[in-house]
Structure 1
Amino acid sequence: MTLLIYLVGWLILIGGVSWALITMHVSQHTVIIVAVIMLGVGVITAATRTRNRDRS
Protein backbone atom coordinates (compact mmCIF):
# COMPACT_ATOMS: atom_id res chain seq x y z
CA MET A 1 0.00 0.00 0.00
CA THR A 2 2.86 2.38 0.78
CA LEU A 3 4.33 1.79 -2.68
CA LEU A 4 1.03 2.86 -4.22
CA ILE A 5 1.00 6.05 -2.16
CA TYR A 6 4.54 6.89 -3.30
CA LEU A 7 3.65 6.27 -6.94
CA VAL A 8 0.48 8.36 -6.75
CA GLY A 9 2.49 11.20 -5.22
CA TRP A 10 5.08 10.96 -7.98
CA LEU A 11 2.35 10.90 -10.65
CA ILE A 12 0.86 14.09 -9.19
CA LEU A 13 4.32 15.68 -9.17
CA ILE A 14 4.97 14.61 -12.77
CA GLY A 15 1.60 16.00 -13.81
CA GLY A 16 2.35 19.33 -12.19
CA VAL A 17 5.80 19.62 -13.74
CA SER A 18 4.45 18.64 -17.15
CA TRP A 19 1.67 21.20 -16.88
CA ALA A 20 4.17 23.89 -15.92
CA LEU A 21 6.41 23.02 -18.87
CA ILE A 22 3.47 23.07 -21.27
CA THR A 23 2.35 26.49 -20.03
CA MET A 24 5.93 27.72 -20.56
CA HIS A 25 5.60 26.56 -24.19
CA VAL A 26 8.33 23.93 -23.96
CA SER A 27 8.25 21.49 -26.87
CA GLN A 28 6.13 18.36 -26.44
CA HIS A 29 8.98 15.88 -26.88
CA THR A 30 10.96 17.63 -24.14
CA VAL A 31 7.97 17.37 -21.78
CA ILE A 32 7.65 13.66 -22.56
CA ILE A 33 11.36 13.05 -21.95
CA VAL A 34 11.22 14.86 -18.60
CA ALA A 35 8.09 12.93 -17.59
CA VAL A 36 9.66 9.54 -18.45
CA ILE A 37 12.84 10.38 -16.54
CA MET A 38 10.83 11.52 -13.51
CA LEU A 39 8.70 8.37 -13.67
CA GLY A 40 11.84 6.22 -13.62
CA VAL A 41 13.24 8.12 -10.66
CA GLY A 42 9.88 7.83 -8.90
CA VAL A 43 9.68 4.06 -9.37
CA ILE A 44 13.25 3.56 -8.17
CA THR A 45 12.71 5.82 -5.15
CA ALA A 46 9.42 4.19 -4.21
CA ALA A 47 10.83 0.69 -4.57
CA THR A 48 13.89 1.41 -2.44
CA ARG A 49 11.92 3.16 0.30
CA THR A 50 9.17 0.57 0.60
CA ARG A 51 11.09 -2.68 0.14
CA ASN A 52 11.13 -5.15 3.01
CA ARG A 53 14.38 -5.01 4.86
CA ASP A 54 15.99 -8.18 6.20
CA ARG A 55 15.54 -8.46 9.91
CA SER A 56 18.59 -10.16 11.35
Structure 2
Amino acid sequence: MSFALYMIGFVIFLGGLIWGASVAGVPTLYIGIGAVILLGIGIFSAVSRTRGKDPS
Protein backbone atom coordinates (compact mmCIF):
# COMPACT_ATOMS: atom_id res chain seq x y z
CA MET A 1 0.00 0.00 0.00
CA SER A 2 1.40 3.40 -0.90
CA PHE A 3 1.93 6.21 1.58
CA ALA A 4 -0.45 8.55 -0.26
CA LEU A 5 -3.27 6.01 -0.30
CA TYR A 6 -2.80 5.29 3.39
CA MET A 7 -2.87 8.99 4.25
CA ILE A 8 -5.95 9.67 2.10
CA GLY A 9 -7.82 6.95 3.98
CA PHE A 10 -6.63 8.27 7.32
CA VAL A 11 -7.63 11.85 6.49
CA ILE A 12 -11.13 10.65 5.52
CA PHE A 13 -11.32 8.73 8.82
CA LEU A 14 -10.10 11.80 10.73
CA GLY A 15 -12.67 14.00 8.97
CA GLY A 16 -15.43 11.67 10.11
CA LEU A 17 -14.21 11.80 13.68
CA ILE A 18 -14.03 15.60 13.58
CA TRP A 19 -17.53 15.85 12.14
CA GLY A 20 -18.90 13.47 14.77
CA ALA A 21 -17.22 15.36 17.59
CA SER A 22 -18.58 18.69 16.37
CA VAL A 23 -22.11 17.27 16.11
CA ALA A 24 -21.72 15.85 19.63
CA GLY A 25 -20.90 19.32 20.95
CA VAL A 26 -17.20 18.91 21.74
CA PRO A 27 -15.48 22.32 22.02
CA THR A 28 -13.51 23.36 18.93
CA LEU A 29 -10.24 23.67 20.86
CA TYR A 30 -10.38 20.02 21.93
CA ILE A 31 -11.32 18.92 18.42
CA GLY A 32 -8.28 20.77 17.04
CA ILE A 33 -5.90 19.32 19.61
CA GLY A 34 -7.22 15.80 19.04
CA ALA A 35 -7.01 16.19 15.27
CA VAL A 36 -3.36 17.28 15.40
CA ILE A 37 -2.45 14.39 17.70
CA LEU A 38 -4.28 11.83 15.54
CA LEU A 39 -2.74 13.26 12.37
CA GLY A 40 0.72 12.80 13.88
CA ILE A 41 -0.11 9.21 14.84
CA GLY A 42 -1.41 8.62 11.32
CA ILE A 43 1.80 9.91 9.74
CA PHE A 44 3.95 7.73 12.00
CA SER A 45 1.84 4.65 11.20
CA ALA A 46 1.84 5.37 7.46
CA VAL A 47 5.61 5.72 7.40
CA SER A 48 6.17 2.54 9.40
CA ARG A 49 3.74 0.48 7.29
CA THR A 50 4.84 1.70 3.88
CA ARG A 51 8.62 1.97 4.21
CA GLY A 52 10.72 -0.56 2.38
CA LYS A 53 12.47 -3.33 4.26
CA ASP A 54 16.20 -2.97 4.68
CA PRO A 55 18.20 -5.52 2.66
CA SER A 56 20.16 -8.05 4.68
TM-score tier by shorter-chain length is over 0.9
Identity of aligned residues (%): 38
Give the number of aligned pairs.
56
Q: Which residue of 2 aligns with 1:32?
A: 32
- Using the TM superposition, give the Cα deviation of residue 54 of structure 1 relative to its aligned residue in structure 2, in angstroms: 1.0
Q: Which runs of no fewer than 5 residues in structure 1 stay unpaired?
A: none
Misfit runs of 4+, over 4 Å: none
Task: State the secondary structure of the residue aligned to 2:26.
Answer: coil
Q: Which residue of 2 aligns with 1:41?
A: 41
What is the TM-score of this pair, normalised by structure 1? 0.94
